[in-house]
Structure formats: C-alpha cells, structure tokens
Structure 1
Amino acid sequence: MMQKQDIACALSRYRVQTQSQGQVFRAVFFDMDGVLFDSMPAHSRSWCETALHYGLEMTPEDAYRYEGQTGKHTIDLLYRSRYGRPATEAEAEAVYAHKTDLFVRYNSGAVISGAPEVVERLRSLKRLLVTGSSQRSLLEKIEPDFPGVFTAERMITGRDVRRGKPDPEPYLMAIQRAEVASSEAMVVENAPQGVRSASAAGCFTIAVNTGPLPDEALWCEGAHLVLPSMASLLEAIPLLLENPSPPTP
C-alpha cells in the first residue's frame, strides 16, 4: 500500500527533476484500456487469436506489453518478427479488421472499478482522454459512461497522431490542448508503452497496475508512482492535489 510519505517523496523527486517546485496540477490525462474500461482481457484474447489466424506469433503477455500502441504499430511488430518486414497497408487493414471483429464479440464493456469516482474527484482539473486505440466500439462508450467529460476536443486517439505511444507525441498533444506546462499535468496509465510516452512528455506519471505484468515493468519505463488499483488512486488524490512536501528526517 502506498503511504502518504511515499507519495510526498515521489512528488518531491519529480518537482526537483523538472524544476517545478511550487507548481500544482492543472490537468489530468487518462488512458482508456485498463484505466477507464476493463477491456484488456478482450484485447489480449482477440490479438492472440488474430495472430494465430494469420500465422503470426503473439502471447497474452505480449498483448499487455504492446498495449497503448496503435494497431498498425503492433501489427508491424508482429510482421517484422515473422517476416522481417512491416505489414503492407492491405495486410494491416485485414489483420486489424479481424482483430476488431473478435474484440467486439469478446469485450464486456465493463468500466474499471473506481474509474468513474476518480474521474469525478479530479473534476477541478482539465480532464483529457489519451489513447492509442481507434476501436470505435469503445470510443462510442466514452460519452454514455463518462457523460460530458471527454468531449471531442478533449479526446486524443490513435487516429489523431502520426507516432503513437511509446512516442511522447500523444501526451505532448494533450499538453498543448490543455494549455498547461508538462509539469502541471498528471497522467493515469496502466501499460509500459503508455508510461514511457507520458514520462517522456514530462508529465507526472501514475501507473495503475490493472494487468498481469509485474510492477517493475512500469517502474522501469519511468512511472513516478505505481498503484494497484483505481480505488487506491482515489485514496491518493487528496495528497496529489495538495502537493505535499516530503517529511523531514
């Protein structure tokens, strides 16, 4: 369990590293899969079955490690591993269409426990969605499940960027749209690729480990905090918003 002094020390280290002492957070950027929606089991299953169908290789663990990238990026990785080259546009379209069909069949549409409460608790900040997904079936659930929060101008998806996660472009775009400094933004992620993207963009990066990967997979990509659930993040929010100073020895 993350203690108050752990959060204080993490924030203090971040403020020193970014020379942003005295600043407070003005924006929060949420990933979608595994943060707002419990969709990763369906993603993992549909990716693995699609890879098998096309003679490619992918494990469930791979699906979680690749999470956050655009579909095209993931497909290119699979083709490079199997054939030593990226997928053609036609190949990528066929593979992604097959994966999408399976995902729609398998996904329960469930919201991650605690996610609505976290989003609501952070209503004083500018709230943006930053996802590598272009999965229409999930994007269309954003408004019904989080009404009025993530409007079109406050959503950055895989369709909006040239370089998806782990490149910092998605979060740099979010910083620009929110009109804040990188050190005024916190990010809620769950995947190594997304953590790397957010950290490289200069944001205070919170990894909520809702998947099967070890915490170390998130720490080593630059997470400033790693928490076990959205419920634990909800408990930590008052400390994050008050920006506590580290305890004196």
Structure 2
Amino acid sequence: MFQEAIKHYLTAHHYDSIDLKSVLFDMDGVLFNSMPYHADAWYKVMAARGLNLSREEAYMHEGRTGSGTINIVCQRQWKRHATPEEIEEIYSEKTVEFNKNPPAERMPGAWEVLKKVKEAQLIPTVVTGSGQGSLLNKLEQNFPGMFRPELMVTAFDVKYGKPNPEPYLMALEKGGLKPNEAIVIENAPLGVAAGVGAGIFTIAVNTGPLAPEVLLGEGADILFPSMLSLCEAWEELVGTLHSFSSRKAD
C-alpha cells in the first residue's frame, strides 16, 4: 500500500533507504484536539476588530506565528502591516479567548500511536509553533514519559517557523538525525510544507475541515483521515519502511 509513496520519496531525495530512528509530531491537531478552539478564538478576536478570518481559514494558517497570521489579515484588509502594539493586543486577546475553553483532549489515536513508536524503540519528538509556557507540563500530563524536553522544538527555538523548514531542520539537528532517519506527522498545510521542505518523509493526518487535496498539494507523501487510521496502519507502514532499509543492507 505504501511502497509507491516511499519509492517516490527516495527517488526525489536521492536516498537508498529510510532508516527510521525518530518520529516528529506536530502538536495541535495531531496530539491534541485543540484546533477547533484556536480557529474559534481567531475568528472571534478578528471579528471584534472588523477583520475577516473565518474558522476554516484559521486552519490554513495553523503553524504560522501569531504575528504572521495577524499581518496577513491586516495587509489584506488594512493594506498595511499591523503595528507591534496591535500584534501584542490581538494575540493577547486571542490567548484569552482560547483559554476560555476547557483543556483540549488528546487526539483520538495519538496515545496509541505514541505507544507503538516507543515499542518500536523509535524516539518521538514534538515540533510545534506553540509558545505556551505550560507546554511541557501539558505534554507530560497527557503523554507521560513520551517526550524528551531537550529534543523538542517550539516557538521559542525558531526565527521563522512553519512553513519554513527551520523547525524540522532544527529537530533533526537536536536529534543528530539525517532527513531520511525520521518521519513527520502533520495535520496542517504549513506544517506539511515545512516537513517536505526539510526533506523528511511527511505523513498528513486530516483532522480538520480542509479538503484532502490541500494537504496533498503541499507535498504530503501519505494522507490519513485521522490519527486512529494512522494507528491502524502503523505496523504495515513501518514494516514497509524497514523493508526498504533492509534492501540497502542486502
């Protein structure tokens, strides 16, 4: 089922194999079912200022820095960049609106995928555009013992953020990995673009309202409709990846 996608990746990137050592996870929309809260908060805060950002469009900007999203909307409607003061105010209001919601629950299937990653002696790592101060506690409470803080990449680590490949390139650097020694699991178009731009085999999970073609159009190597479906196919996927690795050894 997955052979053609892997062959295409290897040919495009001039690798003989994918020697899997680590799995790089986006956070919102992959590990946590938090994107509906983010989308709703962006919509409400923008609307209060007379700015138009639909909930669906918010999914298109997922992974972008807050200032980047604000500037795109302001340039579109106000024909100018937002001032630093406006950015600070809008993002602060968005954070307050987001925090009115109950804590986001684990994405169905995420815990099960992580357990399979660990059982396979692979290293799971989080690569997120989030800058939440409570991020480490949140991850440890929901996914105890899964992540090593020193390998994580957050908004505090990067200059550019997704769709720039910088976050995933930094994750490779922190883990001492080559691009063909990891895979990316993403749900957002910008995140998929970042993983592909870093030269990593990129799996999209379509946990939001976007058409599948949007994620495939950004270069996703494989698309799943949910984390649960990825979990169900995990053994077949990893077995196929390993089969290409063993062929190199032969």
Q: Distance in 2 between matches of 1:25 and 1:167?
A: 23
Deviation at 1:137, TM superposition (A): 5.2
Structure 1 position 220 matched with structure 2 position 217: yes
1:136, distance to aligned residue in structure 2 (A): 3.6
After superposition, the Cα gap between the structure-2 partners of 1:48 and 1:138, relative to the gap in structure 1 and judged at 3 Å, is farther
In structure 2, what is the equivalent of residue 142 of structure 1?
Answer: 139
Q: 1:193 aligns to what?
A: 190
d(CA) in 2 for partners of 1:86, 1:214: 30
Count of matched residue pairs: 240
Task: Give the fraction of aligned pairs with identical amino acids, expressed as a percent.
Answer: 43
Unmatched segments (≥5 aa) in structure 1: none
Contact 2:17/2:180 (8 A) holds in 1: no
Residue 248 of structure 2 is matched in structure 1 by: none
Aligned residue type for 1:147: P
How well do the aligned residues superpose, as a CA RMSD in angstroms? 1.4
Q: 1:109–1:138: 8 Å Cα contact kept in structure 2? A: no
Give unmatched runs, 5+ long, in structure 2: 245-250
Among 68, 73, 79, the alignment partner of 1:73 is 68
Q: Which moved more, 1:189-198 or 1:15-24?
A: 15-24
In the TM superposition, residue 221 of structure 1 has moved relative to its aligned partner by: 0.3
| Structure 1 residue identity aligned to 2:167 | P
- The DSSP-based 3-state class of the residue aligned with 2:92 is helix
Alpha-carbon distance in 2 for matches of 1:233, 1:10: 15
Moved more, 15-24 or 36-45: 15-24
SS in 2 for 1:223: coil
Confirm or deny: 8 A CA contact 1:100 1:135 kept in the other structure.
Answer: no
Q: Residue 47 of structure 1 contacts residue 58 of structure 1 at CA under 8 Å; is this kept in 2?
A: yes
Aligned to 2:112: 117
Cα displacement (A) at 1:29: 0.4
| Structural mapping, 1:97-108, within 5 Å | 97-108=92-103
Which residue matches 1:126? 123
Query: Does the 8 Å CA contact 1:39/1:107 hold for their aligned counterparts?
Result: no
1:139 Cα deviation from its structure 2 partner: 5.2
Displacement of 1:138 after TM fit? 5.3
Q: Check 1:139–1:98 CA distance in 2 against 1; reply closer, same or farther (3 A cut).
A: farther
SS in 1 for 2:77: helix
2:14 maps to what in 1?
19
The residue matched to 1:206 in structure 2 has which SS?
strand
- Paired residue secondary structure (2:163): coil
| Alignment-mate amino acid for residue 192 of structure 1 | P
> Is the 2:186–2:203 Cα contact (8 Å) retained in structure 1?
yes
Letter in 1 for 2:81: P
Q: Distance in 2 between matches of 1:88 and 1:181?
A: 39
Secondary structure of 1:33's counterpart equals coil
Counterpart in 2 of 1:211? Answer: 208
Structure 1 position 164 matched with structure 2 position 170: no
